[in-house]
């Protein structure tokens, strides 16, 4: 299907001309290849090819609903994106991309401690709006990702052990389903859709607005401490001990880091293997220091520290990259971290391993995450002890090695796996990998709900569950 930019707007049964006609009915914009606005098809992960037939820059819920209706009428499909951190391939002449950046309104209600957030807002916008009120949204490690994509993937943030999933703190969604209907999804209205949107990614619709709880957190005890890669065996063993019976107010992760020798990278970390211990707590600074003391005694840190910090600076704990880049990710969930598991990680990622991964992270789970919330959701891996996540930058000289090594790492850690993985750590449209995000019951329910609300398969693009995936 080829779109010509000089088509005139007129009623037609042809999909190409229908999109041209749609442009006149939008409050936002529609761009075909080569036109201003089409560049938004390029995701944050620039290694992922995204070449839709057109990009719709939605300015309202009505724009999204009208686009979905046109797709239904003309045999088109629709994908949605804000930042593209978890992008998957779109290279088909029957798929439009709905970009939600203009749906970014944020309204704070300090009396109810809630925020009403547009479906295209990023977490930094919510942080900026909530902080003056002494309130905090449960963000992820990066505030530069989209709110809706993070929440529909359940949301594992730096305080997940203390407060649970970020999606457990959603009060309601406004969502456009695959049949073009605009629904309010909440515990008291369309509760099945509310269940599925919290963890089901894009399976049940396109979120255009969400209401979330805010927490009265102005400061926390947090930071990161980096060690030379040569100290990895001692530090990793000490971190494992730290994780034993850790209070719920404490959250931690550890990461092998191989950051490039660039001017913006701190000199102690640039161009070599280091190990970073991340820490976040809503407890006291004295208790934090006491908990960290045994770990800090096994090796001398080369950078960083832990102390009181504004909640608004929470992104500095993980210091996730901001600029777009080409990456490849691998992830799994672990039921335990044994000395044998540590040996495996050191062999494949530690000193002398030749690992091409930029980051290999272990993140402690459990705590509040492990308990079922008041309102059940499609998230089904609450019993996992750790998530293991590897990301490699696809740049010379290691680009060709990243995928094979990542697969090797996951295979080597298989004896410690739960068999599952997290939706937000699984950027894929591969049915086998998607199936690992859910247990059998959740997969079946998500598939049935998706088929019910999208009988024509308009949203059957990317990271979604459908009925035939679980047959």
Q: Is the peptide bond before 28 cis (omega within 30 degrees of 0)?
A: no
Indicate the average pLDDT of the chain: 94
Paired strand residues for 428: none
Structure confidence by residue, pLDDT tens digits, 274-317: 999 999 999 999 999 999 999 999 999 999 999 999 999 999 99
Phi-psi region of 414 (alpha: psi -120 to 50; beta: other; left: phi over 0): alpha
Confidence of residue 467 (pLDDT cuts 50, 70, 90): confident
Q: In angstroms, rounded to a whole number, what is the distance separating the alpha carbons of residues 175 and 194? A: 10
Mean pLDDT across 435-455: 96
SS3 state of residue 359? strand
pLDDT classification of 9: cutoffs 50, 70, 90:
very low
Q: Is 407's pLDDT higher than 80? A: yes
The model's confidence at residue 93, banded by pLDDT at 50, 70 and 90, is confident
Position 15 scores a pLDDT of: 84
Q: Residue 252: enclosing H or E segment and its boundaries?
A: strand 250-258
pLDDT in tens, 166-181: 999 999 999 999 999 9
Contact status, residue 50 vs residue 84, Cβ threshold 8 Å: yes
pLDDT in tens, 184-206: 999 999 999 999 999 999 999 99
pLDDT of residue 14: 83
Q: What is the largest CA-CA distance in the chain?
A: 73
Report d(CA 116, CA 130) in Å as an integer: 11
CB 211 within 8 A of CB 170: yes
What are the residues whose beta carbons fall under 8 Å from the beta carbon of 427, sequence distance 6 or more? Answer: 45, 48, 85, 86, 87, 88, 329, 463
Which H or E run includes 434? helix 431-435
In terms of DSSP bridges, do strands 54-57 and 95-99 run parallel, antiparallel, or are they unpaired?
A: parallel
Structure tokens at 184: 């309010």
Whether residue 350 has pLDDT greater than 70:
yes
Q: What's the DSSP call for residue 259? A: B
pLDDT of 1 over the 70 cut = no
The string of DSSP codes covering 125-194 is: HHHHHHGGGT-B----S-TTSBHHHHHHT----TTHHHH--GGGGEEEEEEE-TTS-EEEEBTTBSHHHH
Residue 441 CA to residue 438 CA, distance in Å, equals 8
């Amino acid at each position: 299907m080829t779109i010509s930019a000089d088509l005139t707007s007129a009623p037609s049964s042809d999909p190409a001309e229908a999109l041209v006609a749609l442009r006149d009915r939008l409050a936002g914009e529609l761009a075909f290849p080569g036109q201003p606005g089409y560049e938004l098809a390029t995701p944050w992960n620039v290694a992922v090819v995204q070449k839709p037939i057109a990009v719709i820059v939605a300015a309202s819920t009505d724009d999204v609903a009208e686009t979905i209706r046109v797709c239904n009428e003309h045999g088109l499909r629709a994908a949605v994106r804000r930042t593209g951190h978890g992008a998957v391939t779109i290279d088909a002449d029957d798929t439009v991309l709905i970009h939600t950046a203009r749906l970014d309104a944020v309204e704070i209600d300090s009396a109810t401690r809630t925020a009403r957030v547009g479906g295209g807002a990023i977490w930094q916008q919510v942080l900026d709006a909530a902080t003056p009120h002494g309130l905090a949204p449960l963000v992820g490690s990066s505030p530069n990702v989209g709110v809706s994509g993070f929440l529909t993937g359940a949301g594992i943030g730096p305080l997940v052990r203390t407060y649970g999933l970020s999606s457990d703190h959603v009060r309601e969604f406004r969502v456009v389903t695959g049949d073009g209907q605009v629904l309010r999804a909440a515990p008291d209205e369309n509760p099945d859709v509310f269940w599925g949107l919290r963890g089901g990614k894009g399976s049940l619709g396109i979120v255009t607005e969400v209401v979330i709880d805010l927490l009265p957190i102005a400061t926390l005890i947090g930071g990161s401490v980096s060690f030379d890669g040569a100290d990895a065996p001692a530090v990793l063993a000490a971190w494992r001990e730290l994780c034993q019976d850790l209070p719920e107010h404490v959250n931690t992760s550890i990461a092998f880091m191989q950051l490039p020798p660039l001017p913006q990278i701190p000199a102690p970390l640039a161009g070599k293997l280091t190990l970073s211990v991340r820490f976040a707590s809503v407890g006291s600074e004295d208790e934090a220091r006491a908990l960290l003391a045994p770990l800090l005694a096994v090796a001398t840190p080369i950078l960083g520290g832990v102390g009181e910090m504004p909640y608004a600076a929470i992104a500095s704990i993980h210091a996730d990259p901001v600029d777009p880049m080409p990456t490849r990710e691998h992830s799994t969930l672990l039921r335990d971290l044994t000395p044998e598991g540590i040996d495996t990680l050191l062999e494949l990622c530690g000193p002398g391993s030749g690992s091409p991964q930029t980051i290999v992270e272990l993140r402690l789970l459990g705590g509040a995450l492990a308990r079922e919330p008041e309102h059940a959701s499609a998230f089904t891996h609450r019993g996992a002890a750790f998530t293991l996540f590897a990301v490699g930058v696809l740049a010379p000289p290691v680009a060709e090695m990243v995928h094979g090594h990542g697969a090797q790492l996951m295979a080597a850690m298989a004896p410690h796996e739960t068999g599952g993985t997290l939706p937000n750590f699984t950027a894929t449209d591969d049915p086998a990998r998607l199936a690992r995000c859910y247990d059998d019951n959740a997969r079946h329910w998500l598939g049935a709900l998706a088929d019910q609300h999208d009988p024509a398969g308009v949203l059957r693009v990317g990271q979604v569950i459908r009925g035939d995936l679980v047959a």
